[in-house]
Amino acid sequence: MPVGRGGERRAISLGNPGLPGDPYTTPTLWAAIQYLAPRENAPEHRHSQSAFRFVLEGEGVWTVVDGDPVAMRRGDLLLTPGWHFHGHQNVSDSPMAWLDGLDIPLVAETDQGFFEFGPDEVRTKATPERSNSERLWGAPGLIPVSCAGTRPQSPLMAYRWAHTDAALTAQLELEDEGVAGVIEPGHAAVRYANPTSGADALTTMRTEFHRLRPGTRTRASRISASSVWQVFEGSGHVVLNGTERTIGRGDVIAVPAWTEFALRAGGQLDLFTFSDAPVFEKLNLLRTEVSV
């Protein structure tokens, strides 16, 4: 049963009350919690906007990207870069939920929106463990010779939680061993990258996962990019321009541009984050200030 061509998607957009007009999370970023009921599917479309899904709950959904079904599980990051056809299909008996991130406001304000419907039926029956994109691009440091050369967007459509978790664990272990790797004491972080260039996985959004040891307080800093943070696991505090708020699993925080930002972990604190930093890096507009 498709969600339907009318609504197309069932999503609760996280509209920032500080922004007029459409329910955007920051002036350039859209964040929403998307939900797919058991045995439901969302038909395919494509648009110039780049998108990702970061899975919060459940298992048993496939995002089909240009015909390649990509399994979704809690903690996985899935990409649907601009102008790739994509649909979703829940083949399980449980609902699923994920965080949807897009550059909708940026693309809208700059008049770059293009959209096309795909076929009404989601083009997959099979439920492979690994997508084709992972089979081609999922080995560390290996590139298919037939695909050599830089691409603007990552050809790897899924970044699995097991890898993310292991990389963060390793950074903290290396810190214990006196080997460089963490950003600052007690603070590990990985960036989801495009293996053909080493740049951000998407051209308009930076996506990262951060882990803080219990009790860690990050340096306060501000940056002209805006960002969204999702508490994946754990709890603690966020400090925005000097005001401290408690945060816990499932919370989503919008950090406007040039807001002083710091995190403080209660127990271990795991967060997914995305921002518009790559846009301003490319336009020579990004500025950063780290507090002493």
Q: Segment 182-201, which members bind its own copies (CB under 8 A)?
A: 182-183, 189-198, 201
Among 5, 7, 39, 48, binds its own copies (CB under 8 A): 48
Q: Select the span of 39-47, 52-60, 178-186, 242-250 touching its own copies (CB under 8 A).
A: 178-186
Rule CB under 8 A: say whether 275 interacts with its own copies: no
**Which residues partner with 61 through β-bridges?**
72, 90
Among 12, 37, 139, 290, binds its own copies (CB under 8 A): 139
Rule CB under 8 A: say whether 180 interacts with its own copies: yes
> Cβ contacts of residue 53 below 8 Å, gap of 6+?
34, 63, 72, 77, 78, 80, 98, 99, 100, 101
Rule CB under 8 A: say whether 238 interacts with its own copies: no
Give the contact letters, 76-115, x = binds to its own copies (CB under 8 A), - = no: ------x-----------------------xx-xxxx-x-
What does the alpha-carbon distance between residue 173 and residue 179 come to, in Å, rounded to a whole number? 9
Choose between 37 and 147: whose C-beta lies nearer to its own copies.
Answer: 147
Do residues 260 and 220 make contact, with C-beta atoms less than 8 angstroms apart? yes
How many residues belong to the site for its own copies (CB under 8 A)? Answer: 76
What does the alpha-carbon distance between residue 254 and residue 273 come to, in Å, rounded to a whole number? 10
Choose between 148 and 292: whose C-beta lies nearer to its own copies.
Answer: 148
Dihedral (CA of 165, 60, 57, 26) sign: positive
User: Quick one: which H or E segment has residue 273?
Assistant: strand 269-275
Q: Which of residues 49-78 bind its own copies (CB under 8 A)?
A: none
Rule CB under 8 A: say whether 292 interacts with its own copies: no
Rule CB under 8 A: say whether 136 interacts with its own copies: yes
**Which residues partner with 64 through β-bridges?**
69, 87
Among 7, 119, 152, 267, binds its own copies (CB under 8 A): 152
Distance of closest approach, residue 263 Cβ to its own copies, in angstroms: 14
- Residue 254, burial from CB neighbour count under 10 angstroms (0-12, 13-18, 19+): buried
